[in-house]
Amino acid sequence: AATALSFSSFPYQPASASDASTTYASPVKAAKRSTAYLVDSTIPPTLIPYRAQREAAILKNLGMGSGTPKSPFIEDSINLNNFMNKAVFGSVDAVRGALGGVSDVVLGGGGGQRGGNDDARHPTFLFLGADFDDSYTADGNVYADAELAASLLSDVCKPKIREGKRGNTAIGLACVPKYCQDILDEYLRSGDDGDAERELLEGLRAKGISKNNDNDDSNSEYDLEIIRRHIPLLRFAKSKRYPLLGLGPDPADLATVSEGGLQSLSPEKREEYVVDARGFIELTQDPAFKLYTEKSLLKDFKIPRGNSVDGSGGKGGGGSNSKNDNEDVVVAEKQQQGNYFARRILYHEACATTTARWALSHGGDSESLMIAVAPIKDVRFLGGINGRVPRICNYLLANGGVGSDGVGNASGESNTASAGASGTVNMDDVTTILLNPSAKETLSESKFLRLEIGTSP
């Protein structure tokens, strides 16, 4: 038998044939990592790993309309936030019982799964945040995010209530403006060969959607190349007979706001994109939203190329470096930042409004499921498109303003508002999944993901 002294100083080095007298341990094997994690609402947040089997069960429950409870995940063996709970309540079991237990929190069975009237039918919203890039998290594959999205949705849409013929499930694309809806409808009616995707892209190009480059900041929300990278997801929607919806506002209107702010937009356009004007304005004064604006939304602000104002007076001019010139630079930059802020919140509000209208008007005899795909920056930290949906839904329900959502389903039919949801919609009805996120995409300055910015995970 080998003794401890007979082991090599490098115990995990494979033994060579010429060194038969030395005993080696088995080579190191990397641990099998989970592919999905829940970011819960404890302070600080906890990343809770899910194995493949548990992940599939959770996704299927989302398809059944379970939503995602936003109460903290209390499990003493996973997070260390319970030591204060022990001091206050005496034991972690008391806290766990008050919150309905681990399985209830994760899978949504009982235990305060949703707020409001449990008997009421609620629409369910699933936001997929993806940048469709070729970063290392996507293994250099520009289609990796779309393929992952299609794989996840295969589990989400397994329940029978998600059959395409029921007309209660749709996939919305924040990368496509609403006025291109006819192009998406034509794609769904086309065949399954490669010509369908080519004709889709050509149709969008004819509508004014082009490929962006580093010198063009005027149309950053819509990029033909990014849409092309959605193809695996588009094919999934066609195979399931799900409607594809363009969610975004007209790029010409976004350009108008970029130049002159929201006040430069016509009243008719503002009413089209912002149905809850009072809530839209009040949100900008909310302390949590102000923190989101500072810590997330404005982090992506860049002075548009060709409009930069330098310290030598004006745009590339040869003026003096006087105090007045410096003050003009500051004022100009603040105005550009303000217009950028207006553009972003209009884009978020318009996408959320289209999302809410479809979900409320296509419930049928069961809960509707609205799946929206958007860039990570527009759904992270629940401050973008996803965070606005409950407010808009409740406004539409309270004011009877659901009406027609302006888009059809895969069969060209349009359902009425009376077939939609009842009760109220809250944040538990909104689930957000980030696909292949990198630390940078979550605004982390380290190599680890950033889980919160002081508002909520």
pLDDT digits (tens, 9 = 90+) for 407-452: 444 433 444 443 445 568 999 999 999 999 988 999 998 888 888 8
Note the pLDDT tens digit of each residue in 25-49: 555 566 666 778 888 777 677 778 8
For residue 454, what pLDDT band results from cuts at 50, 70 and 90?
confident
For strands 36-39 and 47-50, give the pairing: antiparallel
Mean pLDDT, the chain, rounded, equals 79
For residue 152, what pLDDT is reported? 95
For residue 66, what pLDDT is reported? 87
pLDDT, mean of residues 145-172? 94
For residue 89, what pLDDT band results from cuts at 50, 70 and 90?
very low
Note the pLDDT tens digit of each residue in 340-371: 999 999 999 999 999 999 999 987 556 899 99
- The sign of the torsion formed by the CA atoms of 131, 134, 136, 139 equals positive
For residue 168, what pLDDT band results from cuts at 50, 70 and 90?
very high
Closest CA to 48 of 83, 75, 86, 85: 75
User: 337 pLDDT exceeds 90?
Assistant: yes
Show Cβ contacts of residue 101 under 8 Å, excluding neighbours closer than 6 positions.
111
Q: Are 377 and 300 in contact (CB under 8 A)?
A: yes
Distance (Å) of CA 18 to CA 8, 333, 380: 14, 71, 57
For residue 103, what pLDDT is reported? 30
For residue 315, what pLDDT band results from cuts at 50, 70 and 90?
very low
Task: Give per-residue burial for 97-127: e unless 16+ CB within 10 Å, then b.
Answer: eebbbbebbbbbeebebbbeeeeebbbbbbb
E-state strands within 241-368: 244-248
CA atoms within 13 A on the CB side of 130: 31
Show Cβ contacts of residue 250 under 8 Å, excluding neighbours closer than 6 positions.
177, 178, 179, 269
Note the pLDDT tens digit of each residue in 110-158: 333 454 445 556 799 999 999 998 777 767 788 999 999 999 999 999 9
Note the pLDDT tens digit of each residue in 199-243: 999 999 999 999 876 445 555 899 999 999 999 999 999 999 999
- Residues 187, 192, 193, 198, Cα dihedral to 10°: 20
User: 262 pLDDT exceeds 50?
Assistant: yes
Least confident of 34-48, 97-111, 171-185, 373-387: 97-111
User: 383 pLDDT exceeds 70?
Assistant: yes
Residue corresponding to tokens 């970029």: 258
Distance (Å) of CA 12 to CA 21, 23, 27, 32: 15, 10, 5, 19
- Higher-pLDDT residue of 20 and 259 is 259
For residue 115, what pLDDT is reported? 44
Tokens of 70: 């936003």
- Higher-pLDDT residue of 104 and 123 is 123
User: 9 pLDDT exceeds 50?
Assistant: yes
Show Cβ contacts of residue 393 under 8 Å, excluding neighbours closer than 6 positions.
123, 356, 359, 360, 421, 424, 425
Tokens of 163: 């059959």
Q: How far apart are CA 196 and CA 87, in angstroms?
A: 63
Report pTM. 0.79
Q: Are 184 and 244 in contact (CB under 8 A)?
A: yes
Strand partners of residue 127: 372, 432
* CB-count burial class (<10 Å; 0-12, 13-18, 19+) for 327: exposed
- Higher-pLDDT residue of 68 and 81 is 68
pLDDT, mean of residues 380-399? 94
Q: How far apart are CA 75 and CA 96, in angstroms?
A: 8
* CB-count burial class (<10 Å; 0-12, 13-18, 19+) for 316: exposed
For residue 227, what pLDDT is reported? 96
In which element (H, E) is residue 398 found? helix 385-399
Q: How far apart are CA 354 and CA 430, in angstroms?
A: 15
User: 16 pLDDT exceeds 60?
Assistant: no
